Amino acid sequence: MISPKIVLIALASLLSAQLCVALPLASPTKTTTTKTTTTRTTTTSKTTTTKTTTTSKTTSTTTTTTIYSPNPKYPAQFLNLKDDWYLQLPVASTPNGTTFGSSSNPGLQTFSSSNFFVNADKTGVVFNTTNTGVTTGGSTHPRTELRQVTGIAKSWNSSDVGPHELNITLSKDYLPPGIISIFAQLFSVASGAQFTYRVVRQSNGATSIAVCTKSGCYTYDDNYTLGTRFSLQISVSQNMVTSRYLNLGKPLKTNAVMGSTSNPYFHTIPTIPYGDYVFKTGSYCTILKGVQPDDAYCQATFNSITVS
């Protein structure tokens, strides 16, 4: 017969063995591993986010540099003015002088002044015409104006098949009430302006854009808002002049009558045959020293000028 004491000892040993087997199942090792894994994942995620942000900033900087660099410092570089142009200014060429100042290539490539400069936004070239009393020969009004260079290669015959073209995009920023500012001309060296493209501001502030020829004036836009960008193309071929005006701040409306109800507006009319035509463009201003205030001015900002 087995002793009760021996039975108790055997039962105690068996219970102890079972507890030893169960202990690993209750171990927190997996919980610890899960926490460690979670911590590592979070750390890795933060590192990845930091790298992504850094890469994004670098890409943005590179793109900005590509778009805006190099920034032309000088107007001739911005507008790509080559040997086709000669600049006339409303300031004296010498201190206290009366002869108008000017600049031609190659000096024009690095010329800038308070009358002719690239604007702060780097979007255009400002033509600022001040009331100095200094004018070109034969004129009573000041100008900041580009003139196509005359000579065998630059002046041309209106009878050419061509076409000879001037394309400009600009805004008329300011002119005083009661003043006219001419922004483009078809000009005969010997006989003067044949077509003048102008902004007219009435004494009440109403502003319009028109062209005047030897046979009359034609209104392109009878409700122009100062500062609004517009484009003009002048095309000359076989003694005919086609002009196309487009107000870039208004909806397109074609096949309408002349004036503000049509945008773009264009027409073709004959010109007087001459063999010495050139284009002019800029800011000619009908202010007069002693009549308008000394601080009176006209200003236009040109975004592009091309000639062919």
> pLDDT tens digits for the chain (308 residues)?
444 444 434 434 433 434 333 333 333 333 333 343 333 433 333 333 334 333 333 333 333 222 333 567 899 999 999 888 999 999 988 876 778 899 999 999 999 999 999 999 999 999 999 999 999 888 899 999 999 986 555 789 999 998 999 999 999 999 999 999 999 999 999 999 999 999 999 999 999 999 999 989 999 999 999 999 999 999 999 999 999 999 999 988 766 555 455 788 888 999 999 999 999 999 999 999 999 999 999 999 999 999 99
Scored b (16 or more CB within 10 A) or e, 107-133 reads ebeebbeebbbbeeeeebbbbbbbbbb
Instruction: Check residue 150 and give its pLDDT.
Output: 63
Scored b (16 or more CB within 10 A) or e, 43-62 reads eeeeeeeeeeeeeeeeeeee
Name, in order, each residue with C-beta under 8 angstroms of 157's C-beta and a sequence gap of 6 or more.
273, 274, 275, 276, 277
**Strand bridging mode 192-201 / 265-270:** unpaired
Q: List the one residue out of 148, 133, 55, 156 whose CA is nearest residue 297.
A: 133
Q: Is 218 helix (H, G, I), strand (E, B) or coil?
A: strand
Token duo for residue 279:
């284009």
Helices (H), 69-184: 75-79
Q: Is 170 helix (H, G, I), strand (E, B) or coil?
A: strand
Q: What are phi and psi of 186, to 5 degrees?
A: -105, 115
Name, in order, each residue with C-beta under 8 angstroms of 104's C-beta and a sequence gap of 6 or more.
85, 86, 87, 149
Instruction: Check residue 254 and give its pLDDT.
Output: 67
Contact 3, 9 (CB under 8 A): no
What is the rounded distance in angstroms from the CA atom of residue 292 to the CA atom of residue 205?
16
Tell me, what amino acid is at 227? G
Contact 108, 85 (CB under 8 A): yes
Contact 130, 90 (CB under 8 A): yes
